[in-house]
Amino acid sequence: MNNDILKSIKKIHFIGIGGSGMCPLANILHNKGYIISGSDNYMSDTLERIIDRGFDVHIGHDEKNIGDAELVVYSAAIKQENPEILAAKKLNVPIMERSDLLGLVCSQYKNLVAIAGTHGKTTTTAMLTQILAVGGANPTAVIGGKLPFIGGNSRIGNSQNIVCEACEYVDTFLKLTPNIAVILNVEADHLDYFKNLEGVVNSFKKFACKATELVVLNGDDKNSVEATKNANVPVITFGLGENNNYRAEKIVEKYGIYEEFTVVKDGKYLGTFSLKVPGKYNLYNAMAAIAVADYMKIDIEKIKEAISEFSGVHRRFEILSKKNGITIADDFAHHPTEIENTLNAAKKMGYNRVICIFQPHTYSRTSLFLNDFARALSIADIAIVSEILAVREVNTYNIYATDLVEKIDGGVYRKTFEDIVNYIEEIAKPGDLILTMGGGNVYECANMLTKETV
């Protein structure tokens, strides 16, 4: 694909335009003067927002949708048999995968901060975006979830700063050449592609070596440290351990919220901060964002202000409703570590019971991490498991949701969201937290529960 293609075209069609990785790119290019069209399978809040901006969006996929597009972009979820891809090939219209387009868009900015890690990418990208915006750095941003502060998952800035989430799956993040590469943590995941932890670490090593100015990493995470040993640029670390360049200490935690913590930079006091989002993992996310923002010379008082006001991201421990004494929340966690971290935070927040509704995401992940999922979900007082969401897979693993439920303390299997809602209505009591978790469409179950009188 010609790297200069964006200089010679004006009309771009996005297949799957409502996706969290697609919509920000469509918004950025629309702002640069490109004529954007797109298609998706169903209407969503994201689609409604971009339709309001004047985008030509079609519900459903049809060869006619590409019109007179000069470039067709597709997300990783789109199969090559898609009628719009086939039409583009027939008409000799250039086709590009989303990650390639992201690389081209980011290359147009002088200062790219790319945030990678097995967990925390979206939240940290959102945190840093909010800090840079409050601090006057006026960034463009590509975020994998909706940030209330900006009312969406992208921001159009007028500076040379761009912040983007850098996903490791199928080595997508290697399409980027970041000035600042951030590595939050490195764990075994996406083993359908990487095969084992060594494969994951090796991919992150390549990502770290692509940084042209600085690598920022979690110094408490041994795999992140390993992944950055051969970095070609200076490395700074963040965390709780004494050897980190940016270290949190004097931590005051109440009901899972870090109400106060001091940050020391190379042994010297930098400032005292507060968070309103729960969980130790968010303390680490905040430390990463603080380290990058300080390196970018954002005023420390502005960093404090932005961090203290950060209220989270869509589908990251997002409180949806509180009624009849029952709280309903939703979270994107779909890896055992994410589930463990989120449930441990929830258990500290003063609820009588934490009732988790979990939708397993892919057969491969469920099979490979079966015991880890069971251990993490057993933290909840009650864990309700739905059918496994296949996504792109067929069940060659001979794995079923009931296999997981059998291993969970307090595990319950209910096949459909309707079955789950009915069960919740039977058991829910005032003081309960009902938390839906998963990388698929389990949020629909949460939405159903918010409409019911549980």
Catalytic residue numbers, as ranges: 121-122, 165
User: Which residues does 265 contact at the CB level (< 8 Å), separation at least 6?
Assistant: 245, 246, 294
Q: In what order do the strands lie in the sheet with 411-413?
A: 318-323, 326-331, 432-437, 353-358, 382-385, 411-413
What would you report as the CA-atom Rg of the chain, rounded to the nearest whole angstrom? 22
CA distance 414 to 178: 45
CA distances from 22 to 30, 79, 122, 250, 296 (A): 12, 15, 14, 41, 27
Amino acid at 235: V
Residue 437 · residue 355 · CB < 8 Å: no
CA distances from 107 to 1, 204, 354, 380 (A): 15, 20, 45, 44
CA distance 53 to 354: 40
SS3 for 373?
Answer: helix
The vertex-430 CA angle with 426 and 432, nearest 5°, equals: 80
164: closest CA among 211, 97, 105?
A: 105
Instruction: Give the ranges where 53-173 is alpha helix by DSSP (H).
Output: 83-90, 98-106, 121-134
CA distance 214 to 276: 29
DSSP H or E segment with residue 181: strand 180-183
Q: In what order do the strands lie in the sheet with 56-59?
A: 56-59, 35-40, 11-15, 71-74, 95-97
Residue 257 · residue 291 · CB < 8 Å: no
Residue 315 · residue 331 · CB < 8 Å: yes
DSSP H or E segment with residue 372: helix 370-377
